[in-house]
Amino acid sequence: MPSETIVQSVLDFLKTYPPFDQINPDELNELATQVNLNYFEVGDVLFREGDAPLPTVFVVKQGNIKLSRKQGEQEVLIDECDEGSVFGIRPLMANDRYLSTAIVAEKTLLYAIPIAAFAKVMESNSKVAMYFAAGFASGGITDNLKDMTKVKRMLALKDELPEAISLNDTDTLKINPAKQMVSCSPTHTVWEAAKIMSIFNVGSILVVNNENYPVGIITDSDFRRKVVARQETIKTNPVTEIMSSPVKTIKPNLSVSEIMLLMVNNKVTHFCVTKDGTDASPALGIISQRDLLIAQGNNPAVLAKQISVTNSVERLVAIRGKAEKLIWSYLQNEVAVPFISNIITEINDSLIRKATSLATQKLQEKGWVVPDLQYAFLSMGSEGRKEQLLRTDQDHAIVYENPPKGEEQKAKEYFLELGKEVTRILLKCGFDACPGHMMANNPKWNQPVAKWEKYFHKWISEPDHNSLMHVSIFFDFRPVAGDESLAKNLRSFIFNEIKKTNLFLPYLAKKALTNPPPLSFFRSFIVEKSGQHKNEFDIKARAMVPLIDAARVLAYEYQLPGFNSTFERFAQVASINQGLAPLCEAAAMGYEILMRHRAIQGLKNGNSGRYLNPNKFNKLERQTIRNIFKTIEKIQEVLDTRYRTGLLR
């Protein structure tokens, strides 16, 4: 056994890197006693692609290892391992051969951990096992963004909540199942179960055996997916044919946050509460996702309701402040970002609708005559894409019906004043003014339908730098207040204009390539060279915008319906084009990670979260973001090839 000094040296090194920082001290100390230190010269080959796995997991203490893979006749570099990198684990987990060749690039010291000892640690530490299952070990992260979200979604951040917005005890409520449990037996027919649900006006029914143990669950979605297509059999078929089984169960008296996290991780919307938390004990009731929202004092439904009934701008400010607490709660409990963004979007939309209502009321009190014209208040940018988790700057516009001849000036003056008042209210609510004045208080962006169509026609038919800059903002519009049909008609107009030219999409794709990812992540991290944010990393421009731009290009090529987020755009393209599906799914997952990281930093520091200090990134964060850069590189290669941007001037 190594000396205590050597063991302590190994221990001190390992505990500073993931996933070893997740192991309790006693277990890590035991592991350290079994580690061997090995020295390798430049050019040494540790293993080759296709070799049977060595009974060892490697950790780089000092030096550099290059992992490469055969592609045709070429040896292609797929990863580099530097200090703290773990490699050689995947084939041991998968009982497979090595998928890459490991060559020593610098004089290197490696810790070698026996697989038996390492397997023991993984068995007792789910976080460690999940770290490797999700592909964070070197050589296994290239195409695994989709699985990464199973791991700690906070990118291994350990920051506590700022005290000013910490959750109170009352924010983590204990929730009990419904007092009246609605259930049926396995012998009931589908029709009988549906009738019971209708009588009790519930969205789910539990299937229990004679001992009241849960054996299955049926929800509204089960009826929609499994029954509609074969209605002729619902009176004879037993519920066992459509129920979901086994039932996901939990113990009583868990907090809202705990149950929400379990729902996300298990991808379910209902849990059966049982006496001991297993399906081998009596059922006590059902808890649904809707129950969680009702139980939370800060739930979005409550906040949206409070917004809808208040007539005070000061009250709006306070309510929107509560949403920050809600975001923190969701982020800390690893709730999926698309879910969070949808909730915050609903709150923001409610606030904007109330702002337009209060503004209209104020104008009437001042004597303004409301024109007999329909209008739509359009959110743009991140709010238009349903991605504004933080209160960043405003981006919005107003479109209104073409006024009758002679009424143009009155309409223009009224809607401009409306835009100014809404902007003032949103400023009070913490949404900064747009530095580029892309707001409804700017006469240029407060226009009738005909003028907007002229704008769009010019931007599409003459896709120069200025036009494409406007497209990147305005073509993410979404109606929030007023007449939605005006926005839908504008979107149809855009689609038709794009069909008339072969130039717009290639130029839009070329613009999407103007922000290449900094792939030399470990060696030359691209940071701001001067100004207020010198030596900081711009996560928006360098990482998020390339994905936003790529999703926008594909959305307008496929003319996707709806007013979609970046996630939704990638998901819809993946469903249409199976060849792009894996890449689009990885891009969506990468974007979720970036949104989460930015939101956490922004809430922690009280700013937009856009500029980060790369020196504060830990090993896991670096590996994760590097993997996202590789996804960006791949999707930009697709755009370059697909639209032949190299032929454009």
Whether 328 and 450 map to the same domain: the answer is: yes
User: Does residue 112 lie within any of the structural domains?
Assistant: yes
pLDDT the model gives residue 472: 95
What CATH number did the domain enclosing 560 receive?
A: 1.20.120
User: Does residue 605 lie within any of the structural domains?
Assistant: yes
The candidate with the shortest Cα–Cα distance to 238, out of 247, 227, 229, 246, is 227
pLDDT the model gives residue 233: 64
Q: What percentage of the chain carries pLDDT values higher than 90?
A: 40
**Residue 300 reports pLDDT greater than 70:** no
**Residue 135 reports pLDDT greater than 50:** no
pLDDT digits over 232-244, tens only? 567 788 899 889 8
Whether 477 and 367 map to the same domain: the answer is: yes
Question: Average pLDDT, stretch 249-267?
Answer: 75
Residue 399 tokens read as 């479109």
Question: Average pLDDT, stretch 85-91?
Answer: 82
**Residue 200 reports pLDDT greater than 80:** no
State the pLDDT confidence band at 293, using cuts at 50, 70 and 90.
low
State the pLDDT confidence band at 417, using cuts at 50, 70 and 90.
very high
In sequence order, what are the residues at sequence separation of 6 or more whose Cβ sits closer than 8 angstroms to the Cβ of residue 375? Answer: 398, 399, 400, 401, 415, 418, 482, 483, 486
The candidate with the shortest Cα–Cα distance to 469, out of 500, 507, 526, is 507
State the pLDDT confidence band at 91, using cuts at 50, 70 and 90.
confident
**Residue 275 reports pLDDT greater than 70:** yes
Question: Average pLDDT, stretch 494-500?
Answer: 97
What CATH number did the domain enclosing 133 receive?
A: 2.60.120.10
User: Does residue 170 lie within any of the structural domains?
Assistant: no
Whether 338 and 390 map to the same domain: the answer is: yes
pLDDT the model gives residue 301: 61
Whether 328 and 397 map to the same domain: the answer is: yes
Whether 468 and 604 map to the same domain: the answer is: no
Residue that is last in its domain, among 434, 458, 493: 493
Whether 475 and 333 map to the same domain: the answer is: yes
Whether 342 and 482 map to the same domain: the answer is: yes
Residue that is last in its domain, among 432, 464, 493: 493
Range of the domain at 621: 509-647
Whether 221 and 270 map to the same domain: the answer is: yes
Q: Is 459 helix (H, G, I), strand (E, B) or coil?
A: helix
Supply angle C-alpha 347, 349, 352, rounded to 5.
110
Q: Is 325 helix (H, G, I), strand (E, B) or coil?
A: helix
**Residue 422 reports pLDDT greater than 90:** yes
CB 519 within 8 A of CB 633: yes
User: Does residue 231 lie within any of the structural domains?
Assistant: yes
pLDDT the model gives residue 227: 65
Whether 132 and 85 map to the same domain: the answer is: yes
pLDDT digits over 318-354, tens only? 888 888 777 887 777 667 788 788 888 888 898 999 9
User: Does residue 144 lie within any of the structural domains?
Assistant: no
> Can you spell out the DSSP letters for 94-159?
HT---SSEEEE-S-EEEEEEEHHHHHHHHHH-HHHHHHHHTT-STTS-TT-HHHHTTS-TTTT--P
3-state DSSP helix/strand/coil percent for the chain, to nearest 5? Answer: 50, 15, 35
Neighbours of 299 (CB within 10 A): 19
Whether 22 and 91 map to the same domain: the answer is: yes
Rg over CA atoms, the chain: 28
Q: Is 504 exposed, middle or buried (0-12, 13-18, 19+ CB in 10 A)?
A: buried
CB 6 within 8 A of CB 12: no
The candidate with the shortest Cα–Cα distance to 475, out of 556, 545, 414, is 556
State the pLDDT confidence band at 230, using cuts at 50, 70 and 90.
low
**Residue 410 reports pLDDT greater than 80:** yes
Which of the given ranges, 6-10, 86-90, 556-560, 608-612, has the highest pLDDT on average? Answer: 556-560
State the pLDDT confidence band at 225, using cuts at 50, 70 and 90.
low
Q: What is the dihedral of CA 432, 438, 441, 443, to 10 degrees?
A: 160
Q: What is the mean pLDDT of the chain?
A: 83
What CATH number did the domain enclosing 398 receive?
A: 3.30.460.10
The candidate with the shortest Cα–Cα distance to 546, out of 604, 641, 451, 630, is 630
User: Does residue 501 lie within any of the structural domains?
Assistant: no
Whether 129 and 15 map to the same domain: the answer is: yes
User: Does residue 620 lie within any of the structural domains?
Assistant: yes
User: Does residue 59 lie within any of the structural domains?
Assistant: yes
What CATH number did the domain enclosing 290 receive?
A: 3.10.580.10
Whether 203 and 334 map to the same domain: the answer is: no
pLDDT the model gives residue 185: 92
Q: Is 437 exposed, middle or buried (0-12, 13-18, 19+ CB in 10 A)?
A: exposed
Q: Is 217 exposed, middle or buried (0-12, 13-18, 19+ CB in 10 A)?
A: buried
Higher confidence at residue 518 or residue 555?
555
How many separate domains does the chain show?
A: 4
Indicate left, alpha or beta for 395 from its phi (over 0: left) and psi (-120 to 50: alpha): beta
Question: Average pLDDT, stretch 583-596?
Answer: 91
Residue that is last in its domain, among 276, 295, 314: 295
Residue 132 tokens read as 């490797």
